[in-house]
């Protein structure tokens, strides 16, 4: 009986040790589970897609509110006219290519019907205008004029002047003034405004 009484404390110690170990293991498992399911610290980083810069164009002529407007990339001439309040009743919008894509820095001139009727009546298939042209020496030779000189023409800004020079360098000298219609941004109305101030000399320029 004395032996059994001596074994009893040892058995309780074993049981107590087992309980402590079990509690510690359970605590470690719970802590590990919390770390696994806990969301990460800090805020997630959101990637923002860069917004392309808008097109800036100048709308002039027979529109409600002529001025400079910023439009999204991919806009057309029609969108620029609408941004300017739409055409006036006397505007001849069909003189323009309404589906033409816009370019940054472009000038869109909406002519009134009176302008286009006059230009159609006075149009001529030959180079030289029939209505009081300037003397030849006062006009610009399209095949030698610089960009700065071309900018002095009515309706021609830096963008169109650059296009004329680039077209000339890529396709060779202009054969007639009417060849300007092949330059993007120059239509029949603008051509008739330019015609009295330019001519074409196809004589090679000596180096």
Query: Mean pLDDT throughout 104-126?
Result: 66
Q: Which CATH class is domain 50-116?
A: alpha beta
Longest CA–CA span in the chain (Å) reads 142
Provide, rounded to the nearest whole percent, the portion of the chain with pLDDT above 90.
Answer: 37
Q: Coil, strand, or helix at residue 69?
A: strand
Distance of alpha carbon 26 from alpha carbon 30, whole angstroms: 6
The answer to whether 90 and 114 have CB atoms below 8 angstroms apart is: yes
Identify the bridge partners of residue 110 per DSSP, sorted by sequence position: 61
**Could you count the other beta carbons within 10 Å of the beta carbon of residue 178?**
17
Q: Write out pLDDT tens, residues 8-23.
A: 666 666 676 666 666 6
* Other Cβ atoms closer than 10 A to 185: 19
DSSP-assigned beta bridge partners for residue 101: 76
The band of 35, judged by pLDDT with boundaries at 50, 70 and 90, is: low
Look-up of token digits 């800036």: 56
CATH superfamily of 124-207: Photosystem II 12 kDa extrinsic protein (1.10.150.320)
Q: Quick one: pLDDT at residue 129?
A: 40
Average pLDDT over residues 189-196: 91
- Mean pLDDT over 91-104 rounds to 88
Output the pLDDT for position 127: 42
Residues contacting 187, CB < 8 A, separation 6+: 95, 96, 97, 181
- This prediction has a pTM of 0.38
In the predicted structure, residue 112 carries a pLDDT above the cut 70:
yes
Three-class SS state of 200 = coil
93 to 50, 73, 108, 137, 149: CA distances (angstroms): 35, 22, 11, 35, 29
**Any idea where the domains of the chain sit in the sequence?**
50-116, 124-207
Assess whether pLDDT exceeds 50 at residue 186: yes
- pLDDT tens column, 40-55: 555 566 666 667 789 8
- Backbone dihedral angles phi then psi of residue 44, each to the nearest 5 degrees: -65, 150
């Amino acid at each position: 009986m004395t032996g059994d009484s001596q074994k009893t404390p040892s058995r309780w110690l074993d049981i107590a040790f087992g309980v402590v170990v079990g509690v510690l293991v359970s605590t470690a498992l719970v802590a590990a589970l919390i770390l696994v399911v806990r969301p990460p610290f800090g805020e997630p980083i959101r990637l923002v897609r860069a917004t392309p810069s808008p097109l800036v164009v100048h709308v002039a002529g027979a529109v409600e509110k002529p001025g400079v407007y910023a439009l999204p990339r991919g806009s057309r001439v029609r969108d620029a006219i609408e941004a300017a309040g739409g055409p006036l009743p006397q505007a001849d919008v069909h003189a323009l290519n309404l589906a033409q894509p816009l370019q940054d820095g472009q000038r869109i001139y909406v002519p009134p019907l009176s302008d286009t009727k006059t230009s159609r009546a006075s149009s001529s298939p030959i180079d030289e205008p029939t209505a009081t042209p300037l003397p030849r020496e006062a006009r610009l030779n399209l095949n030698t004029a610089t960009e700065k000189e071309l900018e002095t023409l009515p309706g021609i800004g830096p963008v169109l002047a650059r296009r004329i020079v680039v077209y000339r360098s890529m396709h060779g000298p202009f054969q007639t003034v009417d060849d300007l219609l092949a330059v993007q941004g120059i239509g029949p109305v603008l051509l008739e405004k330019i015609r009295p101030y330019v001519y074409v000399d196809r004589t090679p320029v000596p180096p």
